[in-house]
Structure 1
């Protein structure tokens, strides 16, 4: 294998169906571990927007793209604070997937996440796909350094912008000390990935209970996060009586933080919290549980 070239995707982890693995248990025989990922991104007004709510007028793209940039900016000025209120009212902590540059651009919000004791996750340095980053290693390490400067400790987890990776991304993340990733949305339980013989764990993330997909891509009604999230949870709760499951809820301030959507996020949490045998964790807590449980069965 040439220097700087990583393993193939399929070579990172063997195919092993969930029904064939050693059985592990959540504390108190809980059925489902639920985690929330709040995504905070830094969109450069000088570049094409990562996504758009308005098409360019008369098909003529223009930079700066004021309306679409402002659509995202609303989330950081207003929507983020709704998330903070909703989570704190229920004594919940989020995992905080944040661009390294956002630590400075949105310092007030990042300070609030730190004060709330959220679990910081690296999310690229500036919002954009990893395969378009000129120096991935520098972007990863700059992101880790920015988070460590604010929180006093490096992040344990990583979510690539748009969940994008090249063949070498996972190895560069492992080299930089990252322990878990969110990009591999392929299971209801954590899965270990091989990085040059080292252990990196994939924590179950989601493109299904994810407001980018529901609201920005599929353009579903405002209550979709509740309807789909409730149905997702109910099925995992049923199955979790036999094999425990992990459920992710991925939200962005400019989407679910909008006034017409935030109430449905509240309804989803209240539905989940009305059930016994559920743990509300962060990504790091799921990682620690999984590694302790699998080490016991090794």
Structure 2
């Protein structure tokens, strides 16, 4: 392993226990801030799928991969509309993590998200790891431009595909004007990360209340997002009496947008929203709050 790379990662953020850092306070003494991240990606049937629901026949990868591409495409044709309904009926605004190429491929969905007032967040230009992207800065700037074409403004946040970063990804993002990232899943409060051009904020994302992990990787039962999400929230709500916490809910149209799972997302929101002292925010709102609390942002 290249020890310089590992050392550089550790230099990005200093260790800090949540019990020993300066106190933060949500508005009106709220305990938990919850943000939803809707991930929209562009998959090509001509290349390997980012993930698959069906294994290749006889162990032989075949292209085009119609069944696994269609699995994802179903989410954009049908599942995404369910997210619009579930969130809209509860007056909730998501953070919309979108590939730059998806802004044109799924322009109708992107425009719908914009009309709903969702916050747009960069999610890479293509759905591929940062480590295989030939020109990261070009991919970042192209994604920013694609989002600005839809919304009229550049995104403030960034979620790398698969949460992957190379040693210089944060530096490039900061230089491109990105203010916060969702890749560093290491805390229940925002933290500041060092870059060569100043600080960038890590807004807590999740690999636990995330339907890729729950449904595609672990292949849990359809109600797992509700059961796990409820238990996760209940503990944060309890701990939030001492120090406020951030909860992320990460969903994809082809996974949670299907008929046998969508009601469990509704149940999770209804459970959370039945509690007082909770704010339902976007990533940018969490960022702005954090900056009012500390000079570190």
Identify the TM-score tier after normalising by the shorter chain. over 0.9
Tell whether 2:45 aligns with 1:62: no
For the residues of structure 2 that align with 1:7 and 1:148, how far apart are their CA atoms? 35
CA offset digits 1:195-236 (Å, max 9, x no partner): 015010000000000000000000000000000000000000
User: Offset of 1:45 from its aligned partner?
Assistant: 1.2
Q: Where does 1:122-161 land on structure 2 (aligned, <5 Å)?
A: 122-161=122-161
CA offset digits 1:253-279 (Å, max 9, x no partner): 000001000000000000000000000
For the residues of structure 2 that align with 1:210 and 1:120, how far apart are their CA atoms? 18
For the residues of structure 2 that align with 1:147 and 1:85, how far apart are their CA atoms? 23
Q: Is the contact between residue 98 and residue 123 of structure 1 (CA under 8 Å) also seen in structure 2?
A: yes
User: Offset of 1:107 from its aligned partner?
Assistant: 0.5
For the residues of structure 2 that align with 1:29 and 1:266, how far apart are their CA atoms? 26
User: Offset of 1:59 from its aligned partner?
Assistant: 1.0
Residue 174 of structure 2 corresponds to which residue in structure 1? Answer: 174
Residue 99 of structure 2 corresponds to which residue in structure 1? Answer: 99
For the residues of structure 1 that align with 2:285 and 2:135, how far apart are their CA atoms? 31
User: Offset of 1:38 from its aligned partner?
Assistant: 0.1
For the residues of structure 2 that align with 1:162 and 1:213, how far apart are their CA atoms? 11
Residue 292 of structure 1 corresponds to which residue in structure 2? Answer: 292
Tell whether 2:252 aligns with 1:248: no
Q: Which runs of 5+ in 2 are unaligned?
A: none
Residue 90 of structure 2 corresponds to which residue in structure 1? Answer: 90
User: Offset of 1:87 from its aligned partner?
Assistant: 0.1
Q: Where does 1:1-298 land on structure 2 (aligned, <5 Å)?
A: 8-295=8-295
For the residues of structure 2 that align with 1:232 and 1:197, how far apart are their CA atoms? 36
User: Offset of 1:22 from its aligned partner?
Assistant: 0.6
Q: Is the contact between residue 40 and residue 97 of structure 1 (CA under 8 Å) also seen in structure 2?
A: yes
For the residues of structure 2 that align with 1:74 and 1:197, how far apart are their CA atoms? 41
Q: Is the contact between residue 7 and residue 168 of structure 1 (CA under 8 Å) also seen in structure 2?
A: no
User: Offset of 1:91 from its aligned partner?
Assistant: 0.2
Q: Is the contact between residue 99 and residue 126 of structure 1 (CA under 8 Å) also seen in structure 2?
A: yes
User: Offset of 1:30 from its aligned partner?
Assistant: 0.0
The DSSP-based 3-state class of the residue aligned with 1:63 is coil
For the residues of structure 2 that align with 1:6 and 1:117, how far apart are their CA atoms? 39
- TM-score, normalised to structure 2, is 0.97
The DSSP-based 3-state class of the residue aligned with 1:120 is strand
The DSSP-based 3-state class of the residue aligned with 1:140 is helix
The DSSP-based 3-state class of the residue aligned with 1:260 is coil
- TM-score, normalised to structure 1, is 0.97
User: Offset of 1:282 from its aligned partner?
Assistant: 0.1
For the residues of structure 2 that align with 1:15 and 1:111, how far apart are their CA atoms? 40
User: Offset of 1:6 from its aligned partner?
Assistant: 10
Runs ≥4 in structure 1, deviation > 3 angstroms? none
* Aligned Cα root-mean-square deviation (Å): 1.3
Alignment length, in residue pairs? 293
The DSSP-based 3-state class of the residue aligned with 1:199 is strand
For the residues of structure 1 that align with 2:19 and 2:254, how far apart are their CA atoms? 38
After superposition, the Cα gap between the structure-2 partners of 1:200 and 1:185, relative to the gap in structure 1 and judged at 3 Å, is same
For the residues of structure 2 that align with 1:262 and 1:58, how far apart are their CA atoms? 33
Q: Is the contact between residue 223 and residue 261 of structure 1 (CA under 8 Å) also seen in structure 2?
A: yes
Q: Which runs of 5+ in 1 are unaligned?
A: none
For the residues of structure 2 that align with 1:40 and 1:123, how far apart are their CA atoms? 8
For the residues of structure 2 that align with 1:231 and 1:169, how far apart are their CA atoms? 34
